[in-house]
Amino acid sequence: MSDAAVTTMDRKPMPGMMVYNKKLGMWVFLLSEVMFFTSLIGTYVILRFAHPDHWTDPGVVLNVPLTAVNTFLLICSSVTMVKAFASIQQGNQKGLQMWLLATILIGATFVGVQAIEYNALLGEGFGPVLDLYHAVGRGNPHEGPSLGGPLYGATFYAMTGFHGAHVTIGVFCLIFVYIRSLQGAYTQDSLEGVEVIGLYWHFVDLVWILLFTIVYLI
Amino acid sequence: MSTTTAMETHTGTAEHHELSFIRKYIFSTDHKMIAKQFLFGGLMFLALGGALAVMIRWQLGFPGRPLPMPLRILFPDTMAPGGIILPEFYNSLVTMHATFMVFFALMPLMAGVFGNLLIPLQIGAEDMAFPRINMASFWIMPVAGFIMLASFFVEGGAAGAGWTSYAPLSTSGEWTGVYMGQILWLVSLIVLGFSSILGALNYVSTVINMRAPGMTWFRIPLATWSIFITAWLLLLAIPILTGGLLLLLFDQTIGTAFFRPEGSGEPLLWQHIFWFFGHPEVYILIVPAMGFVSEVIACRSRKPIFGYHSMVVAMVSIGFLGWVVWGHHMFQSGMNPLLGMTFVVTTVVIAVPSAIKTFNWMGTLWRGNIHFDTPLLHAVAFVALFIIGGLSGIFMASAPVDIYIHDTYFIVAHLHYVLVGGSLFGIFAGITFWYPKMFGRMMNEGLGKVHFALSFLFYNMAFFPMHNLGVQGMMRRIYDPNQYEFLQGLQPLNTFISISIFCFAATQILFAFNFLWSLRAGKVAGNNPWKSNTLLWTTPSPPPHGNFPEMPTVYRGPYEYSHPDREEDYWPQDEPPATTGSGGETVTTPTPELVPGG
């Protein structure tokens, strides 16, 4: 595909969006991702307004401090991604590799923390399934009245789960870019791959800030 | 004209090495080959969907009578014991007919075939922006189709909750008797969604970024415009469906309760999600046909399209309005009448751009030098049938009337007027018009006209009386209308409709024969058999890898037919403007297709 992009630039066609094809393609793809998360968030909003009794106060069931740290980590990974791109813009191969690796590690940590969180929540009876839902609140022994309702669990896992899947895919893509960077595939003049994966990564980060606010804080 | 054979050896500026069979015909990244793959795939699914329709009509035309002999032994006792279609199997037939037609026949045939074929050739690009993503977009479709087909063979049969799969009917096999089939239905459509999004992403990027010099936005041919708008709808609507399908899948498999009322879920929410996708989807299925028809009518009337700009604006506004009308599918779902009123108004507003387009087509035909060949006949049929389908749409757009006709055969009549009369005739116009460019040969004109005439006749005989059935109260998905006394008098009409459908289906054999026979035996087309203006027709038929020997330059709009200053009645987009010679006479450069290798 890279040679197609090069020949396109040689052709000097109509100006279009003034960006190269891959970047435009990623923008357009992210628009469709916006609609995907819209369907999930819309479902959440409608179910929550229809059944407020299925939700609890923030922090009763969900571990807000842990996730706040995780959110901070993910924001940091956006910074490292920017640093990676800035490095290769200056032709700094070593910097690119280092910052990409940092982004990968932070991204993987985010997914790992999310898995630990899921595990703890499931242990406390906070699951997505209608018949098994029996959330007892954070740190409680396995007794006491059930808090909230199954719609809370179902929307929580749907939204955070699909976001987590996006982060995981992003990490794999970053690993691919990282390996290519070790082979010296990116230079000051050829950094499309880094920029495009960066766009995706920032988008996923942005979605998380939205999700963290509406799922954990409100 | 006879330069095509000489040009076959000319492969443009692209690489000259021969591709292996697999790279050339199977895992091809060439947009023209992918268009052909979509064409053959889409036509096969069209035939399958048609076969299911014939089965449905057999049951309605001759309720309780065993299927005729070759079909009788084809179906096991779980579907049709002794050849008599079971009610459960009838549900599957209705569901799968719609699913195959909408997702596997019409969508690939419109966006898949013509998006791929027309966009690069009409805007002067060598290929799509992302050829490999384009290939993936095609190959996902057979995978999804295989999953969908497999659902016929699992226990409980294929999905039977209708193509809309309303919750809670679809959330549990308790209601339909279908367990695995419904899950496969969901998985197949989730997979297919990726195909649509990848295709749409490609179309949008290509049109924005890869236009040849001079190809300004308002010099883009209307067919490409229509697919560009459709691609936006696909891109933004399909992810909504995917989200909904995933949640419904969780309801069925792991036991969540998004849409299940027994767990406080909201069945109505599914309807909102589905139709929020579903109404843009309706325009995904009709807008490309509008583009094809505009192209054909202008070219075969030898006149500039009437109101080019208003055509584009009308399509864009249909695309926008499509997002705010979904509630009109749900007037009967217990909606606040005030909200219903809002949806009535937004829906009726769509009549304005639709009418603009219709009158523009008629304005183009008016006093044109009309060539009555097969593409034009199909295109004019599209306009006529789209008017009928559009007018019946106004009935159901109006909530008080819709309450009476909701979920009756009036709806079936309406949707078949727009999807068969509209989309399918539009596709026929497109295939017959661009067949020479795809395969280098003309389809047989006589056979094409017979196919058109019979199709048009049997089509109207089959679907027009359905309005009548609906107004008299026959339900949309009913298995045997005779179980109600007040519907028993409609049986002769139902039998008449069924026989008409069988004739309509049989007529399509003519098309299949013509299509396949012309591949080998059709008249060699030459570059520009229709004397049309778009860049597409300046390339050899079929165009070589890389399309254009050198990048074309565009000087004018695509519909400069019968220009008063010119002898020829067409003016290709890439022909340099006429220069005035020393003696004051007009000197025009020869048209590109007359120059060998050019």
Lowest average pLDDT, out of A13-22, A27-36, B213-222, B228-237, goes to A13-22
Residues 150-189 of A with CB under 8 A from B: 150-151, 154-155, 158, 162
A residues 65-94 near B, CB within 8 Å? Answer: none
The domains located in chain B, with CATH, are: 31-267 (1.20.210.10), 286-436+445-522 (1.20.210.10), 526-598 (no CATH)
Q: What is the pLDDT of residue B174?
A: 85
Task: Using alpha carbons only, give the angle A173, A175, A180 rounded to the nearest 5 degrees.
Answer: 95
Question: Any residues with CB less than 8 A from the CB of B278 and at least 6 apart, and which?
Answer: B164, B241, B326, B329
Question: DSSP characters for B36-48?
Answer: HHHHHHHHHHHHH
pLDDT at B50 > cutoff 50: yes
- Alpha carbon of A1: minimum distance to chain B alpha carbons (Å): 6
- The reply to whether residue A128 touches residue B124, judged by beta carbons under 8 angstroms, is no
| SS3 (DSSP) at B441 | strand
Selected residues 11-30 of chain A with any CB under 8 Å from a CB in chain B: 11-14, 16-17, 19-22, 24-25, 28-29
For residue A189, give every residue at least 6 positions away whose Cβ sits within 8 Å of its Cβ, in sequence order, or none: none
Q: Please tell me the predicted confidence (pLDDT) of residue B64.
A: 87
- From CA B415, how far away is CA B408, in angstroms rounded? 11
The pLDDT score that the predictor gives to residue A139 is: 66
**Residue-wise burial string across B350-366, b where 16 or more C-beta atoms lie within 10 A, e elsewhere:** beebbebbbebbeebbe
User: Full-prediction pTM beyond 0.90?
Assistant: yes
The per-residue pLDDT for range B117-141, each reduced to its tens digit, is 999 999 999 999 999 999 999 999 9
Quick one: average pLDDT of B82-97? Answer: 94
Cβ contacts (< 8 Å) between B213 and chain A: which residues? Answer: 12-14
Residue ranges of alpha helices (H) inside B440-490 are 445-471
Average pLDDT estimate for B243-262: 94
Helix and strand totals (H; E) in chain A? 6, 0
Mean pLDDT across B278-294: 96
CATH for A198 = 1.20.120.80
Give the span between the Cα atoms of B20 and B31, in whole angstroms. 17
A48 CB burial (10 A radius; 0-12, 13-18, 19+): middle
Number of Cβ atoms within 10 Å of the Cβ of B82: 9
Cβ B180 vs Cβ B156: under 8 Å: yes
ipTM: 0.92
* Residue A2 scores a pLDDT above 70: no
Report pLDDT for B572.
92
Q: How many domains does chain A have?
A: 1
Distance between B573 CA and the closest CA of chain A, angstroms: 15
What 8-state DSSP symbol labels residue B398?
A: S
Distance from C-alpha of B577 to C-alpha of B338, rounded to nearest angstrom: 58
Contacts of B165 (CB under 8 A, 6+ apart): B95, B159, B182, B185, B186, B248, B270, B274
B214-239 pLDDT, tens per residue? 999 999 999 999 999 999 999 999 99
Q: What is the C-alpha to C-alpha distance for residues B222 and B95, in angstroms, rounded to an integer?
A: 34
pLDDT of B597 > 60? The answer is no
Q: Give residue B70's pLDDT.
A: 82
pLDDT at A138: 76
User: What pLDDT digit, counting tens, does each position of A123-149 carry?
Assistant: 888 999 988 888 887 766 666 778 889
Of A131-145, B538-552, B575-589, the one with minimum mean pLDDT is B575-589
pLDDT (0 to 100) of residue A8? 42
Helix axes B491-521, B445-471, angle to 10 degrees: 160
Cα dist. B531→B20, B299, B396 in Å?
Answer: 35, 8, 42
Predicted confidence (pLDDT) per residue in B166-212, tens digit = 999 999 888 888 999 999 999 999 999 999 999 999 999 999 999 99
Q: pLDDT for B321-369, tens place per residue? A: 999 999 999 998 888 889 999 999 999 999 999 999 999 999 999 999 9
Distance (Å, rounded) from C-alpha A208 to C-alpha A215? Answer: 10
Classify residue B564 by its DSSP letter: T
Q: Is the pLDDT of residue B257 over 60?
A: yes
Give how far A6 is from chain B: nearest CA, Å. Answer: 11
> pLDDT tens-digit profile of A87-115?
999 999 999 999 999 999 999 999 999 99
Taking only the tens place, the pLDDT of each residue in B65-77 is 999 888 888 888 8
How many Å separate Cα B127 from the centre of its chain?
Answer: 22
Q: What percent of chain B has pLDDT over 70?
A: 93
CB A75: neighbour CB atoms within 10 A? 14
* A175-215 residue pLDDT tens: 999 999 999 999 988 999 999 999 999 999 999 999 999 99
pLDDT at position B501 is: 97
Structure tokens at B43: 């036509």
Residue A179, domain extent? 2-217
Is residue A64 less than 8 Å (CB to CB) from chain B? no
DSSP string covering B340-375: HHHHHHHHHHTHHHHHHHHHHHHHHHTT------HH
